[in-house]
Amino acid sequence: MSQKENKNRGRTFGFDTRMLHAGHIPDATTGARAVPIYQTTSYVFDSADYAAQLFDLKQYGNIYTRINNPTTAVFEERMASLEEGAGGVATASGMAAQLTTMMTLLEPGDEVVASQHLYGGTMTQFVHTFRKLGVTARFVDPNDFDAWEAAITPQTKALYGETIGNPQGSVLDIARLAALGSAHYLPVIIDNTFATPYLCRPLTHGANIVVHSATKFIGGHGNSIGGVIVESGEFDYAHYGSIADPSPSYHNLRFYDTFGHHAFLMKARVETVRDTGACLSPFNAFLMIQGLETLSMRMDRHVENAQDVASYLEQHPKVDWVAYPGLESSPYHALAAKYLPKGAGSVFSFGLRGEGGAVRAKGKTFIESLNLFSHLANVGDARSLVIHPASTTHQQLSDAELVASGIGPGMIRLSVGLETKEDLLWDLDQALHVI
């Protein structure tokens, strides 16, 4: 052990240090300080025996970039460190992270109980794609824990929610859901995209698995798509057939017996991601790493701007309501103080005054009158963004599903960026005056 390594032994580094250094040391051959992009599909094996051991999972190493890659591995380890998990698996997108998680855990005939307050694409995946796989999703009001309990059946194999509901701004009581999951021996999966590990770390509140659309705040600049799964390593999968039973694709290897607390992650990597091809490209992994290096500073600015924008809109005569948990008027303010003490994120929605078609038309005029806010289907960009969920991100939902998700015709969703705060307030003000 080197003097430097010995000096660092036993020290717990801070969040900012880990977001810059975790998972990587300077390249031993070239001395490169930045993480290199290993833009390769495959890797040379030292010997036939070594190759056989890799493919039989008796040796850990690089086989094919669809399974693992040195650049991607840095991103995975860094995210696991920031979320305080046992490890991570990167995927092609946030949707791929969800699908990989569920396909690793679930078998045909299984069920998942999920919050109603989910991203529209997640709802569609859970309802329609899961149905094709023989899996049923049951949705409940995330605040009604009697409903969570009642929805659990012998076929239920997971509980799923979002730290901050999209686009309602609801805050999930993670510890309470984790206690329910523990009582029923069910893993609790939390989408932590809107909060990021800087604002909230669900695993420290008892959740078992965290997923991210790294496309959003992790990357932070709207230039690449990616996802990541982080697992706590603390859930007992011994009673989970999908993890504990012999795997036909690996000569009946038992993942839980062989890999212990890394069983879920190993199965997700070497079976689900391998077979679906839902891997993250090395170049996008590199861009995600660049985003992570400024995560805490960006999130501080995001939150500061969002808090002031939400406060301004709450007082505006043309605004009917604002759903931002950072406001004292929010029913989720206490939960935000508990789970999001550094701030309630920067994505929230508000409603224009009016009804039916008239308010829908006002929403269109408002969006088309903005100058700084970009009208597009994304959040978490350094730039401020705006969208009308009922006609875009959630348009595939039925009227009944829209009502259940708390989305009305006048709802506007904002993702508040890093611009000068006074400029954002000016832009919103002039657009509201147009309507």
Q: What is the tens place of the pLDDT at every residue in 132-170?
A: 999 999 999 999 999 999 999 999 999 999 999 987 889
Residue 279 · residue 273 · CB < 8 Å: yes
Q: Phi and psi (nearest 5°) for 263? A: -60, -45
Q: Is the pLDDT of residue 9 over 90?
A: no
Residue 199 · residue 217 · CB < 8 Å: no
Characterize the bridge pairing of strands 111-115 and 156-162. parallel
* Helices marked H in 173-234: 174-183, 196-199
Q: Nearest 5 degrees, angle CA 125-CA 128-CA 129?
A: 60
**How high is the pLDDT of residue 356?**
63
Angle between the N-to-C axes of helices 421-434 and 356-369, in degrees from 0 to 180, rounded to the nearest 10: 140
Q: Nearest 5 degrees, angle CA 182-CA 186-CA 188?
A: 85
Confidence of residue 394 (pLDDT cuts 50, 70, 90): low
**How high is the pLDDT of residue 360?**
75
> Can you tell me the distance from the alpha carbon of 172 to that of 151, in angstroms, rounded to the nearest whole number?
17
pTM of the model as a whole: 0.93
Q: Cβ-count burial of 372 within 10 angstroms (0-12 exposed, 13-18 middle, 19+ buried)?
A: middle
Q: Is the pLDDT of residue 408 over 90?
A: no
SS3 content of the chain, % helix, strand, coil (to 5): 45, 15, 40
Domains of the chain: 45-292 (3.40.640.10), 295-434 (3.90.1150.10)
> Can you tell me the distance from the alpha carbon of 218 to that of 241, in angstroms, rounded to the nearest whole number?
33
* Local structure of residue 46 (DSSP, 8 states): S
260 Rama class: left (phi>0) / alpha (psi -120 to 50) / beta:
left
Mean pLDDT of 70-87: 98
Q: Is the pLDDT of residue 4 over 70?
A: no
> Can you tell me the distance from the alpha carbon of 67 to that of 88, in angstroms, rounded to the nearest whole number?
13
97 Rama class: left (phi>0) / alpha (psi -120 to 50) / beta:
alpha
> Can you tell me the distance from the alpha carbon of 360 to that of 315, in angstroms, rounded to the nearest whole number?
21
**How high is the pLDDT of residue 65?**
96
Characterize the bridge pairing of strands 347-352 and 319-323. antiparallel
**How high is the pLDDT of residue 397?**
65
Which residue from 169, 174, 175, 193 is spatially nearest to 332, judged by alpha carbons?
169
Q: Is the pLDDT of residue 23 over 90?
A: yes
Q: What is the mean pLDDT of the chain?
A: 93
**How high is the pLDDT of residue 310?**
98
**How high is the pLDDT of residue 400?**
67
List the single range of 2-11, 127-136, 226-235, 409-418 with lowest mean pLDDT. 2-11
Query: What is the residue type of 219?
Result: G
Q: Dump pLDDT digits (tens) for 356-378.
A: 667 778 888 899 999 999 999 89
Q: Is the pLDDT of residue 2 over 60?
A: no
**How high is the pLDDT of residue 111?**
98
Confidence of residue 37 (pLDDT cuts 50, 70, 90): very high
> Can you tell me the distance from the alpha carbon of 118 to that of 125, in angstroms, rounded to the nearest whole number?
11
Task: Give the SS3 label for residue 48.
Answer: helix
**How high is the pLDDT of residue 235?**
97
Characterize the bridge pairing of strands 87-91 and 227-231. antiparallel
Measure the N-to-C terminal CA separation of the chain; round to a whole number of Å: 67
Q: Is the pLDDT of residue 5 over 50?
A: no
Tally of CB atoms within 10 A around 142: 22
Chain centre to alpha carbon of residue 177: 17
Q: Which residues pair with 112 in a beta bridge?
A: 137, 158
Task: Give the SS3 label for residue 130.
Answer: helix
Confidence of residue 411 (pLDDT cuts 50, 70, 90): confident
Q: Is the pLDDT of residue 255 over 90?
A: yes
Mean pLDDT of 182-205: 98
Q: Dump pLDDT digits (tens) for 278-319.
A: 999 999 999 999 999 999 999 999 999 999 999 999 999 999
Query: What is the residue type of 349?
Result: S
